[in-house]
Structure 1
Amino acid sequence: MSDIETLKAEIKKLSAKSVNAKMNLHDLSEDLPTNWQSILEVAQETYNTFKTLEDARKKLKELEAGAAA
């Protein structure tokens, strides 16, 4: 499997993980003020997930641009 294909598979997994993180944050917000103590933890996890996804997408663009050159 090429680096591009491997990265695409990773992005697919990260996309699913990001949707789950987004839903966790959404669910937490709906339940406020219950569990307000977990806001920072859930928000940080969501941020990290989306940051990792964005970084992977940037890397994929770079790899695809390099492959096209």
Structure 2
Amino acid sequence: MAELEDLKAQAKKLNAKATQAKMDLHDLSEELPTNWERILEVAQVAHDAHAALMAVRKQLAAATPA
């Protein structure tokens, strides 16, 4: 049960990171063409954050009793 709680806590933290990354990407898009050089960097951060969140959500789903 402790593993399940750890996964929930990790998912909560990763969700916050993914949400922030999404907002950063959104903010950058609204500023274009200013800072266009940062598109790949900001997009990679958002991609990595969401990939990590989806991986933890998958683990959480597998660990949760049906």
| TM beyond 0.5 | yes
TM-score of the two chains, using structure 2 as the length reference: 0.94
Residues 11-68 of structure 1 show CA distances to partners (whole Å, capped at 9, x for unaligned) of 0011111110000000000000000000000000000000000000000111114xx5
- Distance, in Å, in 2 between the alignment partners of 1:25 and 1:64 is 32
Q: CA RMSD in A?
A: 1.2
Quick one: percent identity of the two aligned structures?
53
Report how many residues are paired. Answer: 66
Unaligned 5+ segments in structure 1 are none
Aligned to 2:47: 47
Aligned to 2:16: 16
TM-score of the two chains, using structure 1 as the length reference: 0.90
Aligned to 1:59: 59
- Regions of 4+ moved over 3 Å: none
Offset of residue 4 of structure 1: 0.4
Q: Partner amino acid for 1:58?
A: K
Aligned to 2:37: 37
Kindly name which structure, 1 or 2, has the bigger radius of gyration based on alpha carbons.
1
Q: Partner amino acid for 2:9?
A: A
Q: Partner amino acid for 2:18?
A: S
